[in-house]
């Protein structure tokens, strides 16, 4: 018996094999998903959450969607800033004969005449959160990079002895092409280069910034050269001028010996760049892997706040989309200084950051929920960002890219985030100042500010007078709907603060969307300044609507969907909406962009690929057909979203918009009005996973976690049969936000057929 026991133990030890390594959330992120036919801001860039630095490869010409394209088999260089309308400082190693031109990205390599771009071994290309690498075939080196919030870290390991250069380029192709008004690159010693680039972006009319940099080299270089436009110099310690400005340092390489660069950046001054470098990676002692690991851990800590259990491919899509939801930027230095829209240096309070990025256009449908649930500290910092801008410029901003005021989308949807933060108890700021900022935006006429861009609501005076924004004045009938939602947000904050008169005023004005609803045809319809309806109106034309059409905007009243159902009539509402999904199915879920282009997506019904229509699948929850919400949300999750470079999001990702929608819908949660009410409701649909655990921040919420489970969760079982909230039957298709943050369990039983009896409003 003893011998048999020993033999059994040996057998188990021998054949069990090594223990399986459990994958962490960060391991599921695929940085190449959606990077073909993607925009400047989306690529396999090394970064940390909300990092100023998003360091990675560029390989396209300037213009729309410049930056990285997965299908192109070369790299022109590795630039540090991939923000909306902003770029900065590209680095590229080269062993080819000298040339100052990067060359056309699609030109095959023919020596120096092709430029300094390099073909890459595509099989060698690797990326994970906080890391990117590839083998540069023509530069004979492996390129690796990682990042901190304000710094980039490069590692170039050469596989050939010989003469090599590291090029530091300040003017290079980007989605919004920059111009260099003045720049300087100075050799401090043979391991340190510093400088700045005074930059404007003409296409934006108001984007200007000075990027300062301090670059440390791990190995002394032999000399520095460079160029200003067509003037090339060698053996110099200073390159300065306007236009095309770049420098290069020369090395004699050894096989296997890396050349590393630490790059500190700042939008404030050179001391800021130095201090950022010293503080964030100065103690790394050239330990590249240490910085990679720190970035990796930072991402995993964030992504692990939501743990999902289910199918492996769904996990990959979930964590990739959650990763993309944190693609905005931090623009202050480590000491809290930042440069405001008037180019004045300001100082933040301790432990506060100021953020920027692409517009908040309709982000209340995704970011508000994600940030409030797993990153309320970031949501709080967004509010303080807006209050800083209000303090120093008199206005908040819908898209503070580089902290400049922008006119993007012409709306004030930052208000929804600010009000939602307050309503959800995220309030580490001066609430009196919050009200001042919100009320100011809702009552003061929008305008163009000197030295920066447009602020506020441009046609507020006409809207206030007529009750709508006429198309013959604005060319945008959608403004009426956006302004109405801003009024609703303002009213809700006034109510929460006990300001009854203001609440009544703004709530009444939030009904102005009805003034543009034509009762004869029951569509939103453009009106002129005399009150006449547009006679030749085409509901599928996007001519007078912001990236949408009248069909889509007729369902776009996030604060009053019951009102839309009432005016349109429940039967007609459902008929139109179902018809829209059925007729759009051919292209809405198409896996290939060509299929979508042939379907004329911009002049049709449902358009999941743009922000105006991302609520459409949840509208059935308001018209007594919640099983259709369950049907179409799952269809979009499965088919519209992909997991390859060529099929990630069939639309404009906009720094996390598309990704954010996947995340909240995969959890079965959606806030129609962005959570701006005092006791906000969260719409429900069938979750994608059998179990979801949300870890709640104890600094903001009393609950430890909220768990969502679903029995019988299979690809076929997409319909809710029954639900329990904290052990009690739940018959409604919504819960309160407080039910989530107080902690508890939401349990579903799913099936493959609709249950029309579940989900009454």
Determine the topology of domain 28-302 in CATH: Beta-galactosidase; Chain A, domain 5 (2.70.98)
pLDDT, one tens digit per residue, over 31-59 is 999 999 888 999 999 999 999 999 999 99
pLDDT at 231: 96
* Rounded-to-integer distance, Cα 652 and Cα 607, Å: 11
* Rounded-to-integer distance, Cα 99 and Cα 328, Å: 35
pLDDT, one tens digit per residue, over 187-225 is 999 999 999 999 999 988 889 999 999 999 999 999 999
Residues 623 and 577: beta-carbon distance below 8 Å: yes
pLDDT at 584: 85
* Rounded-to-integer distance, Cα 612 and Cα 382, Å: 22
Q: Which of 604, 678, 26, 59 is nearest to 301 (CA)?
A: 26
pLDDT at 106: 60
Strands 705-711 and 744-751, how do they pair?
parallel
pLDDT at 96: 84
Residue with tokens 């949501």: 379
Helix (H, G, I), strand (E, B) or coil at 260: strand
Over pLDDT 70: what percentage of the chain? 93
Residue with tokens 């969502």: 708
* Rounded-to-integer distance, Cα 607 and Cα 643, Å: 20
- Is pLDDT above 90 for 19? no
* Rounded-to-integer distance, Cα 709 and Cα 723, Å: 10
Q: Which of 443, 450, 349 is nearest to 404 (CA)?
A: 450
Length of the chain: 761
**497 or 66: whose pLDDT is higher?**
497
Residues 313 and 248: beta-carbon distance below 8 Å: no
pLDDT at 650: 76
* Rounded-to-integer distance, Cα 510 and Cα 503, Å: 10
- For 285, residues 6+ apart whose C-beta sits below 8 A from its C-beta are none
Residues 173 and 61: beta-carbon distance below 8 Å: yes
Q: Enumerate the β-bridge partners of residue 217.
A: 261
Q: Is the dihedral of CA 228, 233, 234, 238 positive or negative?
A: negative
pLDDT at 109: 56
- Is pLDDT above 80 for 81? yes
Strands 705-711 and 192-201, how do they pair?
unpaired
pLDDT, one tens digit per residue, over 671-711 is 999 999 999 999 999 999 999 999 999 999 999 999 999 99
CA distances for 99 relative to 78, 261, 644, angstroms: 17, 22, 35
**649 or 338: whose pLDDT is higher?**
338
Q: What is the CA radius of gyration of the chain?
A: 27
Burial class of residue 594 in the structure, from the number of CB atoms within 10 Å of its CB (0-12 exposed, 13-18 middle, 19+ buried): exposed
CA distances for 363 relative to 387, 501, 611, angstroms: 19, 29, 8
Over pLDDT 90: what percentage of the chain? 82
- Is pLDDT above 90 for 288? yes
Strands 74-75 and 162-169, how do they pair?
unpaired
Q: Is the dihedral of CA 532, 536, 540, 545 positive or negative?
A: negative
Phi, psi of 651 (to 5 degrees): 180, -170
Q: Which of 314, 319, 323, 325 is nearest to 657 (CA)?
A: 325
* Rounded-to-integer distance, Cα 184 and Cα 377, Å: 38
Q: Among 21-25, 394-398, 498-502, name the one with the lowest average pLDDT.
A: 21-25
Q: Which of 741, 746, 681 is nearest to 707 (CA)?
A: 746
Helix (H, G, I), strand (E, B) or coil at 421: helix
* Rounded-to-integer distance, Cα 412 and Cα 728, Å: 40
- Is pLDDT above 50 for 376? yes
pLDDT, one tens digit per residue, over 97-153 is 888 888 766 665 555 557 789 999 899 999 999 999 999 999 999 999 999 999 999
- The domains of the chain are located at 28-302
pLDDT at 112: 55
* Rounded-to-integer distance, Cα 688 and Cα 311, Å: 9
Average pLDDT score, the chain: 92
pLDDT-derived band at 602 (thresholds 50, 70, 90) equals: very low
The token duo for 164 is 């090599």
CA distances for 631 relative to 81, 358, 404, angstroms: 40, 31, 42
pLDDT at 105: 65
- Is pLDDT above 90 for 611? no
Buried b (16+ CB within 10 A) or exposed e, 231-253: eeeeeeeebebeebbbbbbbbeb
DSSP letters, 183-217, are EEEEEEETTEEEEEEEEEEGGGSSEEEEEEEEEEE
Q: Mean per-residue pLDDT for 78-83?
A: 97
Q: Is the dihedral of CA 681, 686, 688, 694 positive or negative?
A: positive
- Is pLDDT above 90 for 291? yes
CA distances for 63 relative to 40, 175, 176, 203, 341, angstroms: 9, 4, 6, 10, 25
- Is pLDDT above 60 for 591? no
pLDDT at 204: 86
- Is pLDDT above 60 for 609? yes
Phi, psi of 437 (to 5 degrees): -70, -45
Q: Mean per-residue pLDDT for 575-599?
A: 67
Q: Among 42-56, 333-347, 399-413, name the one with the lowest average pLDDT.
A: 399-413
Work out the widest C-alpha separation in the chain, in whole angstroms: 100
**Residue 587 has what DSSP assignment?**
H
Q: Enumerate the β-bridge partners of residue 388.
A: none
* Rounded-to-integer distance, Cα 730 and Cα 222, Å: 73
CA distances for 385 relative to 84, 328, 364, 485, 612, angstroms: 18, 13, 17, 22, 25
């Amino acid at each position: 018996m003893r011998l048999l026991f020993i033999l059994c133990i040996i057998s188990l030890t021998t054949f069990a094999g090594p223990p399986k390594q459990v994958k962490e959330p960060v391991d599921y992120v695929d940085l190449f998903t959606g990077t073909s036919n993607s925009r400047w801001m989306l690529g396999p860039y090394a970064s940390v959450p909300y990092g100023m630095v998003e360091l990675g490869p560029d390989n396209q010409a300037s213009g729309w969607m410049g930056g990285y394209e997965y299908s192109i088999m070369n790299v022109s260089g590795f630039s540090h800033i991939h923000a909306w309308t902003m770029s900065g400082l590209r680095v590229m190693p080269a062993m080819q004969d000298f040339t100052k031109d990067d060359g056309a990205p699609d030109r095959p390599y023919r020596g120096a005449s092709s430029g300094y771009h390099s073909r890459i071994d595509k099989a060698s290309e690797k990326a994970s959160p906080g890391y990117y690498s590839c083998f540069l075939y023509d530069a004979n080196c492996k390129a690796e990079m990682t990042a901190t919030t304000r710094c980039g870290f490069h590692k170039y390991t050469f596989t050939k002895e010989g003469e090599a250069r590291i090029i530091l380029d300040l003017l290079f192709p980007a989605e919004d092409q920059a111009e260099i008004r003045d720049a300087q690159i100075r050799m401090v010693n043979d391991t340190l280069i510093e400088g700045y680039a005074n930059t404007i972006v003409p296409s934006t009319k108001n984007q200007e910034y000075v990027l300062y940099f301090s670059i440390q080299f791990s190995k002394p270089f032999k000399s520095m050269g460079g160029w200003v436009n067509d003037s090339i110099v060698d053996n110099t310690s200073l390159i300065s001028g306007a236009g095309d400005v770049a420098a290069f340092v020369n090395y004699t390489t050894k096989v296997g010996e890396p050349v590393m660069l630490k790059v500190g950046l700042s939008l404030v001054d050179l001391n800021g760049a130095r201090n950022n470098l010293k503080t964030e990676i100065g103690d790394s002692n050239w330990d590249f892997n240490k910085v990679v690991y720190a970035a990796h851990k930072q991402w995993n800590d964030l992504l692990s706040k939501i743990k999902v259990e289910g199918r492996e491919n769904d996990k990959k899509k979930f964590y990739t989309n959650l990763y993309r939801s944190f693609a905005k930027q931090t623009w202050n230095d480590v000491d809290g200084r930042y440069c405001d829209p008037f180019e004045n240096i300001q100082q933040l309070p301790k432990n506060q950051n100021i953020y920027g990025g692409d517009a908040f256009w309709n982000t209340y449908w995704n970011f508000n929920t994600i940030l409030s649930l797993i990153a309320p500290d970031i949501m709080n910092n967004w509010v303080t960002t807006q209050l800083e801008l209000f303090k120093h410029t008199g206005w908040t901003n819908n898209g503070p890219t580089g902290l400049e005021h922008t006119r993007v989308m012409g709306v004030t949807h930052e208000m929804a985030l600010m009000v939602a933060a307050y309503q959800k108890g995220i309030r580490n700021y001066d609430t009196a100042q919050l009200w001042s900022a919100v009320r100011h935006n809702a009552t003061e006429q929008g305008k163009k500010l000197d030295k920066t861009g447009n602020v506020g609501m441009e046609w507020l005076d006409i809207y206030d007078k007529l009750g709508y924004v006429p198309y013959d004045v604005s060319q945008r009938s959608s403004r009426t709907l956006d302004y109405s939602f801003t009024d609703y947000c303002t009213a809700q904050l006034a109510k929460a603060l006990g300001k009854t008169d203001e609440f009544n005023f703004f709530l009444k004005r939030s009904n102005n969307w009805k003034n543009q609803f034509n009762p004869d045809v029951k569509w939103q319809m453009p009106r002129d300044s005399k009150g006449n309806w547009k006679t030749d109106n085409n509901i599928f034309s996007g001519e007078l609507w912001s990236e949408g059409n009248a069909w889509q905007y007729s369902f776009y009243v996030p604060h009053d969907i019951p009102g839309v159902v009432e005016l349109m009539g429940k039967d007609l509402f459902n008929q139109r909406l179902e018809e829209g999904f059925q007729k759009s199915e051919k292209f809405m879920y198409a896996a290939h962009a060509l299929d979508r282009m042939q379907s004329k997506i911009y002049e049709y019904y449902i358009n999941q690929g743009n922000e105006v229509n991302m609520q459409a699948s949840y509208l059935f929850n308001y018209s007594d057909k919640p099983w259709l919400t369950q049907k179409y949300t799952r269809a979009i999750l499965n088919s519209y979203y992909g997991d390859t470079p060529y099929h990630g999001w069939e639309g404009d990702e906009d720094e996390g918009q598309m990704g954010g929608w996947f995340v909240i819908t995969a959890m079965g949660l959606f806030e129609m009005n962005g959570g701006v009410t005092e006791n906000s409701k969260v719409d429900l649909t069938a979750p994608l996973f059998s179990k979801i655990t949300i870890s709640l921040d104890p600094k903001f919420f009393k609950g430890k976690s909220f768990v969502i489970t679903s029995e019988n969760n299979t690809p076929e079982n997409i319909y809710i049969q029954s639900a329990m909230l904290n052990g009690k039957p739940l018959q409604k298709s919504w819960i309160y936000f407080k039910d989530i943050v107080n902690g508890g369990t939401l349990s579903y039983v799913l099936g493959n057929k609709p249950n029309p009896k579940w989900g009454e409003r």
